[in-house]
Amino acid sequence: MSTSLLEAPGRKPEKADNRVGGGLMDPRRMLTSLPDALRKLNPATMWRNPVMFIVQIGAAFTTVLAVLTPSLFAWAIVVWLWLTVVFANLAEAVAEGRGKAQAATLRAAKRDTTARRLASPDDHARWDTVGAPELKRGDHVIVEAGEIIPGDGDVVDGIASVDESAITGESAPVIRESGGDRSAVTGGTKVLSDRIIVKITQKPGESFVDRMIALVEGANRQKTPNEIALNILLAALTIIFLVATATMQPLAIYSKSANPGVPDSLALTSDGVTGIVLVSLIVCLIPTTIGALLSAIGIAGMDRLVQRNVLAMSGRAVEAAGDVSTLLLDKTGTITLGNRQAGEFVPIRGVTEEELAKAAQLSSLADETPEGRSIVIYAKQRYGLREREPGELAHAEWVPFTAQTRMSGVDLDGREIRKGAATAVMKWVRDHGGHPTDEVGDLVDGISAGGGTPLVVAEKGRVLGVVHLKDVVKEGVRERFDEMRRMGIRTVMITGDNPLTARAIAEEAGVDDFLAEATPEDKLALIRKEQEGGRLVAMTGDGTNDAPALAQSDVGVAMNTGTSAAKEAGNMVDLDSNPTKLIEIVEIGKQLLITRGALTTFSIANDVAKYFAIIPAMFAAVYPGLDALNIMRLASPQSAILAAVIFNALVIIALIPLALRGVRYRPSSASKLLSRNLYLYGLGGIVVPFVGIKLIDLLIQFLPGMS
């Protein structure tokens, strides 16, 4: 499952596998999550969410009051208060249920696997058979074609094709080999060919799949610092509203004594506000909406990463991604395609472009490198040159490229054509009696200064011109970096190229800065320098030499194809090993923060609107002046209170899809995002309750006891 740089959250279709079935509000998922929601009613679980714990206590208290003084109004309030608690738990249960569906797929990858453990790392002839759970860190195992890799580790000997579809969902096999940065293998994957020796790097029960299952199920999901801070704020608001509501009791008693002619009602008696109304008032005024959805938002954020084959080791990493202000991106494979391609034929004086193109194409017909193939294709597309038929080349003598000669070519029908590094080809021309002009050197220097790679083409005794190979920047990458800039994110390109080449690519791609001829120490120093200014830094890496920088980064994304050291150092692992995924990760993190902020704004605005529904309805009889605040013109205090309680419960269900899917993210500045939040979710949070409560009031006003 490779991901294009242009595919961002909200634009990319969901992956068509069995990890997540049905829509966000699939009735089957709701039904399967309902038992979990009911189990969460256990007070030992509920107390972790202070807002909803208060609602549960209020629901239990009103149940007792309804039993002692039964009425339709009382029992209606009881039912809807309990539904409010269940709906809140259902939001979290649905979010966790999506993770459990993904975990089921991952568990299918875990089998009762046996392993052939070597008696000694140096002796491949003696081994014993043990169960995979018995393997310890440092053990060496033999895995051959058709066998399951018993645990996470590094290939220390051999090379093999490995099927990782059980983990990544990608059907195409990958190559794993000893040495280099593609040595890491994952337990539960299958060797398709050859034979490898794997050194186990995991502890029993702590494999990659084990950790992934625990994370997607939510078992190891710790609350992030921002989430904890928001929980504290919600708890503080709840306490404030509790105190404010408690003061209404003596106010109500005084009001009734000062106006003895006003008849008692279900909402207001001579003894003050009735207990059921008091609890209803508390539940409607405290921030129940965001309190109910907060946990689901966090779980859904990690779920969105898993859907894109990214494993976050903690919720903190997801949240940190939303606050990242500097992105460090490798040039090759991330910003550029990674293969230099022919972009221009530059002939010397006296040679036509078509003549140069024919010679370059002929010398490249047997060149299977990406550069050689690009020369053949470019000559065909630009000049209409066809490839030669096999019969035409029957007598051709191909000259392969070697590190010693640094050139390749062909001898055909008395012609000798060579292409390669400038110094090597010009020496070959001199050795054959030719005299390269200064013009060739100027062309080579000009292409090199512009960030390109020059290949000189010559025919025995004379130079024909230069092929300009370009490191092609991916289509659309400049627009994506412009989006990053609008988000306030600084992009830095990291490359081993010389400064001239790096500058040319950086200007074409539109990055803010670049680090040329980068070493591991240079990367680490750059990250620390960025962090000194209070900025959060994200980067990708796959090699052992990237481990220090990944560990230092606030968001370190290790490639699944990389070494175990890199995966241990990072706080995220990209199962697709796609370096461009870092941009998506940042957008998912920002989407998480924006969703949380939007629903918090909506929830608090909701509470403001409910004041106008309940307070005027309760006290308008004793204070007629308050009737001016009864904007909705609700039928009675009873219908107003019940309508507000019903709306308070239903709005949670209505917002579950938004909490799970996330608010659509559009790259823009923080001030614009805040303005959009206030207009859309602040204003909407005030208007929606007015409409919703009024509609519910119209439906229930004719019920017995509502007048």
CA-based nearest residue to 656, from 38, 222, 87, 102: 87
Candidate list 163, 210, 330, 576, residue with the active-site label: 330
Identify how many contiguous H helices and E strands the chain contains and give both numbers.
24, 23
405 is in an annotated binding site: yes
Q: 257: annotated binding-site residue? A: no
Residue 546, annotated ligand binder?
yes
d(CA 677, CA 263): 44
Kindly give, in sequence order, each residue whose CB lies less than 8 Å from that of residue 384, ignoring residues fewer than 6 positions away.
Answer: none
Residue 507, both tokens:
């200007």
Rounded to whole angstroms, how far apart are CA atoms 310 and 168?
9
The reply to whether 330 belongs to the active site is yes
Q: Contact, 417 vs 408, CB < 8 A?
A: no
Closest CA relative to residue 571, chosen from 597, 596, 536: 536
Cα separation values, 465 from 343, 359, 371, 501, Å: 14, 10, 17, 21
Alpha carbon dihedral 201, 203, 205, 211, in 10-degree steps, equals: -60
Q: Is 669 annotated as a binding residue?
A: no
Is 53 part of any known ligand binding site? Answer: no
- Residue 475: count other Cβ atoms within 10 Å of its Cβ: 11
- List the one residue out of 534, 536, 543, 588 whose CA is nearest residue 568: 543
Contact 491, 477 (CB under 8 A): no
411 - beta bridge partners?
Answer: 397, 416
Q: Is residue 403 annotated as involved in ligand binding?
A: yes
Q: List, in sequence order, the alpha helices (H) in 533-580.
A: 547-552, 564-569
Is 14 annotated in some ligand binding site? Answer: no
176 strand-pairing partners? 160
Find tokens 């004041």 and name the residue: 611
From residue 2, alpha-carbon distances to 99, 183, 310, 563 in Å are: 22, 20, 12, 20
What's the helix, strand, coil split of the chain in %, to 5?
Answer: 50, 20, 30
Asked if 581 and 555 count as a contact pair (C-beta separation under 8 A), the reply is no
Distance, CA of 218 to CA of 22 (rounded, Å): 20
**Residue pair 209/132 in contact by the 8 Å Cβ criterion:** no
DSSP annotation of 350 reads T
404 is in an annotated binding site: yes
Query: Which residues on neighbouring strands pair with residue 453, listed in sequence order?
Result: 469
DSSP 8-state secondary structure symbol assigned to residue 680: I
Give 444-480 as a DSSP string. Answer: HHHHHHTT-EEEEEEETTEEEEEEEEEEEEPTTHHHH
Six-digit token string for 294: 């907060």
On whether 542 is known to bind a ligand per the annotation, the reply is: yes
Nearest to 308 by CA among 75, 11, 49: 11
Q: How far apart are CA 614 and CA 284, in angstroms?
A: 9
Helix (H, G, I), strand (E, B), or coil: what is residue 317?
helix
Q: 199 is written with which tokens?
A: 């050194």
For 521, 582, 585, the CA distances from 545, given in Å and listed in that order, are 9, 19, 23
Dihedrals φ, ψ of 526, to 5°? -65, -45
CA–CA gap between residue 152 and residue 402 (Å, rounded): 38
Cα–Cα distance between 583 and 3 in angstroms, integer?
A: 11
Is residue 668 marked as binding? no
What long-range pairs does 511-516 form, CB within 8 A, spacing at least 24? Answer: 511/329, 511/335, 511/481, 512/481, 512/485
Report the alpha-carbon distance of residue 155 to residue 183 in Å, rounded.
5
367 is in an annotated binding site: yes
Annotated binding site for Mg(2+): 542, 546
Annotated binding site: 367, 371, 401-408, 419, 542, 546
Which residues form the catalytic set?
A: 330
Annotated binding site for ATP: 367, 371, 401-408, 419
